[in-house]
Structure 1
Amino acid sequence: MQVEIVALMASPIHAFEGRPSDGPRPDPEPPGRASVEVRAGLGVVGDRYFGHPAHRRASVTLIAVESLEAVAAELGVPAFDPVLARRTVVLRGADVDGLAGEFTLGGVRFRAHRPANPCAWMDQALAPGAFRALRRRGGIRCAPLTSGVLRLGPTTLDRGE
Structure 2
Amino acid sequence: MLLKELIARTGGPGRVAWIGLRGGRRAEMAVVEAAGLGPDGLAGDHARPGKRAVTLIQAEHLAVIGALAGREVGAELLRRNLVVAGINLNALKGREVAIGGAVLRWTVPCHPCSRMEEALGPGGYAAMRGHGGWCAEVVVPGRVAIGDAVRADA
Q: Same fold (TM over 0.5)?
A: yes
Cα 1:110–1:63 shift into 2, 3 Å:
same
Structure 1 residue 116 and structure 2 residue 110: aligned? yes
Give the counterpart letter for 1:114 in structure 2.
V
Moved over 4 A (4+): none
Structure 1 residue 3 and structure 2 residue 1: aligned? no
Q: In 2, are the aligned partners of 1:97 and 1:138 still within 8 Å (CA)? A: no
Partner SS, residue 68 of structure 1: helix
Q: Give unmatched runs, 5+ long, in structure 1.
A: 16-25
Cα 1:126–1:97 shift into 2, 3 Å:
farther
1:105 counterpart residue number: 99
* 2:53 aligned residue (38, 59, 74): 59
* 1:85 aligned residue (78, 90, 96): 78
Distance in 1 (alpha carbons) for counterparts of 2:13 and 2:88: 12
Distance in 2 (alpha carbons) for counterparts of 1:109 and 1:144: 6
Q: In 2, are the aligned partners of 1:13 and 1:47 still within 8 Å (CA)? A: yes
Q: Give unmatched runs, 5+ long, in structure 2.
A: 1-11
Q: In 1, are the aligned partners of 2:65 and 2:131 still within 8 Å (CA)? A: no
* 1:12 aligned residue (15, 23, 34): 23
The TM-score with structure 2 as length reference comes to 0.82
2:31 counterpart residue number: 32
Give the counterpart letter for 2:52 in structure 1.
A
Q: In 2, are the aligned partners of 1:63 and 1:97 still within 8 Å (CA)? A: no
- Deviation of the 1:76 alpha carbon: 2.9
- Deviation of the 1:85 alpha carbon: 0.7
Cα 1:139–1:108 shift into 2, 3 Å:
same
The TM-score with structure 1 as length reference comes to 0.79
Identical columns (%): 25
Q: In 2, are the aligned partners of 1:100 and 1:112 still within 8 Å (CA)? A: yes
Give the counterpart letter for 1:86 in structure 2.
R
Structure 1 residue 42 and structure 2 residue 40: aligned? yes
Give the counterpart letter for 1:149 in structure 2.
R
Q: In 1, are the aligned partners of 2:23 and 2:45 still within 8 Å (CA)? A: yes
- Deviation of the 1:107 alpha carbon: 3.0
Deviating more after overlay: 5-14 vs 96-105: 96-105
Partner SS, residue 22 of structure 2: coil
Alpha-carbon RMSD across the aligned residues, in angstroms, is: 1.8
Give the counterpart letter for 2:142 in structure 1.
G
